[in-house]
């Protein structure tokens, strides 16, 4: 089983991944999905992704409470496929990642590198979540978050 290199995500993204991992049991899930990470962003308005979402709320009238409800509903209903790839949480537990979560992190890394940045931040992961083929894309694109 492969493991996410802890030098790839920024400290802020690592915190968000830990927050998302904490939501797994609450939502009856076994693998970390993009929905869980998006919920963590929505519930952490001080992170870069949270600030971006707040700008969409202020500038385009996106209802973040409604988005959170929709993301939470999708998080409960959709089962992610285990990618046989883990994230080591702050408590040392290996958290299985879904194949889409691995794709989000990989695309986020590509976005970060294109911007000359070293680590993948929450803003890069959020951008990757809006890409076609990711389960969160419809939720975000429907609200003009692309």
Contact 87, 15 (CB under 8 A): no
For the residues 4-26, what does the mean pLDDT come to? 95
Res. 73 pLDDT band, cuts 50 70 90: very high
> Look-up: residue for tokens 């990757």?
128
Contact 80, 98 (CB under 8 A): yes
Res. 27 pLDDT band, cuts 50 70 90: confident
Identify any residues that bridge with 66 across adjacent strands, giving them in sequence order.
none
Identify any residues that bridge with 94 across adjacent strands, giving them in sequence order.
88
3-state secondary structure at position 138: helix
Q: Is the pLDDT of residue 56 over 90?
A: yes
Phi then psi dihedrals of residue 76, to 5 deg: -75, -35
For the residues 78-85, what does the mean pLDDT come to? 94
If one counts every other C-beta atom within 10 angstroms of the C-beta of residue 66, the result is 10
Contact 126, 141 (CB under 8 A): no
Q: Which two tokens stand for residue 49?
A: 């992704």
> Look-up: residue for tokens 């870069």?
48
If one counts every other C-beta atom within 10 angstroms of the C-beta of residue 105, the result is 25
> Look-up: residue for tokens 């993301």?
71
Q: Which two tokens stand for residue 101?
A: 């979560």
Q: Is the pLDDT of residue 146 over 90?
A: no
Res. 25 pLDDT band, cuts 50 70 90: confident
Res. 1 pLDDT band, cuts 50 70 90: confident
């Amino acid at each position: 089983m492969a493991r996410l290199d802890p030098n790839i995500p920024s400290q802020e993204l690592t915190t968000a991944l830990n927050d998302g991992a904490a939501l797994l049991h609450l939502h009856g899930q076994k693998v970390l999905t993009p929905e869980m990470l998006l919920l963590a962003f929505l519930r952490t308005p001080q992170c870069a992704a949270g600030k971006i979402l707040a700008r969409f709320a202020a500038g385009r009238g996106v209802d973040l409470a409604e988005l959170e409800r929709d993301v939470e509903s999708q998080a409960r209903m959709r089962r992610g496929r285990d990618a046989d790839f883990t994230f080591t949480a702050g408590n040392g537990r290996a958290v299985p990642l879904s194949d889409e979560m691995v794709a989000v992190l990989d695309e986020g890394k590509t976005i970060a590198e294109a911007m000359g940045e070293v680590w993948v931040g929450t803003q890069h992961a959020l951008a990757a979540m809006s890409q076609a083929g990711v389960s969160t894309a419809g939720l975000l694109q429907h609200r003009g978050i692309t």
